[in-house]
Amino acid sequence: MHFLYDLTNGSIIVAPFSAVNESIWEHMKLLFFPTFAFAAIEYTYIGKDYENFWCAKLTGALSGLLLIPVLFYTYTGALGVIADWFNVVIFFIAAGTSYYVETLLLKNQAEIFKTPCIAFIILCMIALLFVILTFVQPEIPLFMDMSTGNYGI
């Protein structure tokens, strides 16, 4: 998904679901959409067996999404450099943490919300936010393309 936007010559159809630049926000999007899509598929097979399925998915996704900027800004602030190889490591740490949190919550049947419907709605709202902010990006560091200094598409 990282290079899909470039491979499709800047397709407006794939832009909401793939990275359109090298910003931290776009890398967060790369974690969210595959996670959400996999959760939708997973729900058809095992999701109904867990009352807390969507709560676990939301909590896992949020933990991974938060780790990406926290780890990136921590290491770049402390070291004053940006290392592409370490950005890849951060992504894998965030993805692994996301799925680890989900697994713990599913195994323990921990419920964060009283109704799983609320968790699913929040996940859908996050997806919508990613889509909207693909096209309308505020000029803050989270949205800045690290390689060009530009924002958005």
Extents of the domains making up the chain: 4-143
Please tell me whether the overall predicted TM-score, pTM, comes out greater than 0.75 for this model.
yes
Tokens describing residue 57: 């998915």
Give 148: exposed, middle or buried? Use CB within 10 Å, 0-12, 13-18, 19+: exposed
Q: What is the pLDDT of residue 42?
A: 95
Alpha helices, H only, the chain: 4-7, 24-45, 53-79, 84-108, 116-135
C-alpha R_g of the chain: 16
Cβ–Cβ < 8 Å for 47, 53: yes
CA distances (Å), origin 125, targets 31, 32, 58, 64, 120 = 16, 12, 11, 17, 9
Q: What is the pLDDT of residue 3?
A: 80
Q: Which residues of the chain have pLDDT under 70?
A: 110-114
Residue 98: Cβ within 10 Å count: 23
Q: What is the pLDDT of residue 112?
A: 67
- CA-CA distance, 100 to 43, in Å (whole number)? 17
- CA-CA distance, 143 to 138, in Å (whole number)? 7
